[in-house]
């Protein structure tokens, strides 16, 4: 039986950049920020208009203090200026487009120059080396290939390191398992919800990943998940799980990534300027306070974005990290501000419920939250097949344990419905955890 592999020695892809002292790093940020602002002002009419309206000229700003005076960019700006309105380079210098699904209306298009692509692959290479992946490893990429960045951006980064990439894409679990066996996959990249689902398929097929496969680590991201889910996945597969954060607007994966200490995700601050704001007022919060992450790209050529509101709720973790990297970390994303829902006047993030569920013995891999009214919620939970043993007492006990523990965490007692494994819907991409049937 395998146990998770510690990383024997610390290694870097770009040691100078990753361990640069804070003074040098901040001065590099200032220089790149100035350059980005100047290009945005000169090339993108929206930025020019906004700066002019605010009476700001890139040349006159004191960086970084004055950045607080610049207006935010929102996902609506990307939609309204779809497709080419925010482009800062000639159209013929664009070599790739990715889009982000969003929920309604037009997609958001994000463009890459050749240098942008190279840069995004370099940042992924840093992340892989940071977490112990090396030439000789086999990475099975189970994220969607295509307009979503999780496929191609990870792919090229892994190739840069010299890893053998299996571009499997998501779904078709039996084929995934066959690929893992044939190519002796050591690393995989997928959503946490798919990792949980695949675990249930492996169990059904009688395959013990710790015994029968060669997995060492996984990069999980694209959707929020709790520490409990990480532990559960690590335990089932016998691997190390690293949290991976990114968004299409900032290249996709490779914006922030955990190092071997798994204590927050290092944001590559030489390429992204980070702020945390109060999502209601836009006010910039102090380091350590929880709020919405705002990102400014510092090196993107094709489509620089200034003070982009991610909607993701997190906080900056201060202090140095034992891995030697000087880039600050952000904590696990609590959720998107628009994922938060209110029941009985209480603000709730799906992840708070997930955290409770994944810590309860007998709870299997999938769950769903259904909102039918403003004072009530239902949690549908898949439980281990062994619990359907004809003893109704066990089911009732588990049901009330779940309801009580959820109430202790979110202060609202849910109705709990237990389901057999595999009976709740699964999606190939990001999981849809909340079904909101409320009409108002
Ligand atoms: P969309 O989901 O809007 O179509 P993206 O594919 O660009 O677009 O997804 C980016 C979003 O996914 C982030 O803004 C964040 O909400 C979520 N996300 C990505 N990685 C993580 C992670 N590790 N933890 C939590 N949420 C994440
Ligand atoms: Zn670290």
Centre of ligand 2 from the C-alpha of residue 324, in Å: 6
Q: Give residue 375's pLDDT band: very low, low, confident or very high (50, 70, 90).
A: very high
Centre of ligand 1 from the C-alpha of residue 246, in Å: 6
Distances (CA, A) of 268 to 118, 330, 377: 15, 11, 39
Q: Are 102 and 75 in contact (CB under 8 A)?
A: yes
For position 388, what pLDDT does the model report? 87
Centre of ligand 1 from the C-alpha of residue 208, in Å: 30
Q: Name the pTM for this structure.
A: 0.94
Task: Encode pLDDT of 85-142 as tens digits.
Answer: 999 999 999 999 999 866 556 789 999 999 999 999 999 999 999 999 999 999 999 9
Q: Are 415 and 376 in contact (CB under 8 A)?
A: yes
Q: Which ligand is nearest to the CA of 256?
A: 1
Name residue 240's beta-bridge partners: 217
pLDDT above 70 covers a percentage of the chain that reads 97
Least confident of 97-111, 126-140, 168-182, 213-227: 97-111
Residue nearest to atom 3 of ligand 1 (CA): 102
Report the candidate in 248, 252, 245 with the shortest Cα–Cα distance to residue 78: 248
Residues 374-391 have a mean pLDDT of: 92
Task: Encode pLDDT of 312-357 as tens digits.
Answer: 999 999 888 999 999 999 999 999 988 899 999 999 999 999 999 9
Question: Which run of H or of E encompasses 296?
Answer: strand 291-297
Task: Encode pLDDT of 33-86 as tens digits.
Answer: 999 999 999 999 999 999 999 888 888 888 778 889 999 999 999 999 999 999
Buried b (16+ CB within 10 A) or exposed e, 115-154: ebbebbbbbbbbbbbbbbbeeebbbbbbbbbebbbbbbbb
Using the structure block, give the residue that is written with the tokens 């880039």: 327
Query: Bigger pLDDT: 339 or 6?
Result: 339
The alpha helices in 369-414, defined as continuous H runs, are 392-410
Cα(109)–Cα(101) distance, integer angstroms: 9
For position 364, what pLDDT does the model report? 93
Q: What is the 3-state secondary structure (H, E, C) of 10-78?
A: CCCCCHHHHHCCHHHHHHHHHHHHHHHHHHHHHHCHHHHHHHHHCCCCHHHCCCCHHHHHCCCECHHHH
Give the number of the atom of ligand 1 that is nearest the alpha carbon of residue 100. Answer: 4
Ligand 1 pocket, Cβ-based, cut-off 6 angstroms: 100-102, 148, 221-224, 243-248, 310, 312, 333, 336, 430
Cα(176)–Cα(195) distance, integer angstroms: 11
């Amino acid at each position: 039986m395998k146990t998770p592999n510690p990383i024997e020695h610390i290694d870097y892809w770009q040691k100078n950049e990753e361990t640069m002292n804070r003074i040098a790093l901040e001065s590099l940020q200032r220089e790149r920020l100035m350059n980005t602002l100047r290009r945005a002002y000169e090339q993108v009419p929206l930025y020019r208009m906004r700066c002019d309206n605010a009476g700001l000229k890139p040349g006159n700003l004191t960086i970084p203090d004055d950045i607080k005076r610049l207006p935010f960019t929102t996902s609506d700006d990307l939609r309204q200026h779809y497709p080419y309105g925010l482009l800062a380079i000639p159209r013929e210098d664009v070599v790739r487009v990715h889009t982000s699904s969003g929920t309604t209306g037009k997609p958001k298009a994000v463009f890459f120059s050749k240098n942008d692509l190279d840069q995004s692959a370099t940042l992924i290479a840093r992340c892989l080396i940071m977490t112990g992946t090396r030439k000789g490893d086999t990475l099975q990429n189970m994220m969607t290939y295509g307009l979503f960045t999780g496929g191609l951006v990870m792919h090229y980064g892994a190739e840069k390191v010299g890893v053998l990439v299996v571009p499997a894409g998501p779904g078709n679990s039996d084929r995934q398992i066959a690929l893992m066996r044939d190519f002796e996959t050591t690393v995989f990249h997928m959503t946490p919800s798919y990792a949980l689902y695949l675990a249930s398929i492996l169990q059904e097929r009688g395959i013990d990943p710790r015994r029968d496969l060669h997995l060492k680590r996984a990069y999980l991201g694209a959707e929020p998940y709790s520490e409990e889910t990480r532990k559960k996945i690590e335990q089932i597969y016998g691997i190390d799980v690293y949290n991976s954060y990114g968004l299409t607007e900032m290249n996709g994966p490779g914006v922030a990534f955990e190092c071997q200490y798994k204590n927050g995700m290092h944001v590559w601050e030489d390429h992204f300027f980070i702020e945390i704001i109060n999502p209601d007022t836009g006010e910039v919060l102090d380091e350590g306070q929880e709020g919405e992450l705002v990102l400014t790209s510092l090196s993107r050529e094709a489509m620089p974005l200034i003070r982009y509101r991610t909607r993701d709720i997190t906080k900056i973790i201060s202090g140095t990290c034992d891995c030697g990297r000087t880039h600050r970390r952000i904590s696990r994303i609590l959720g998107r501000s628009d994922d938060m829902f209110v029941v009985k006047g209480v603000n709730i993030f799906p992840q708070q419920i997930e955290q409770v569920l994944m810590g309860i013995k007998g709870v299997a891999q999938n769950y769903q939250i259904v909102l039918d009214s403003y004072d009530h919620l239902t949690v549908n939970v898949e439980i281990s097949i062994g619990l359907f043993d004809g003893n109704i007492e066990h089911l009732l006990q588990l049901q009330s344990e779940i309801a009580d523990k959820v109430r202790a965490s979110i202060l609202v007692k849910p109705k709990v419905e237990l389901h057999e494994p595999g009976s709740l819907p699964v999606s190939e991409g990001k999981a849809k955890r909340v079904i909101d049937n409320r009409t108002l």
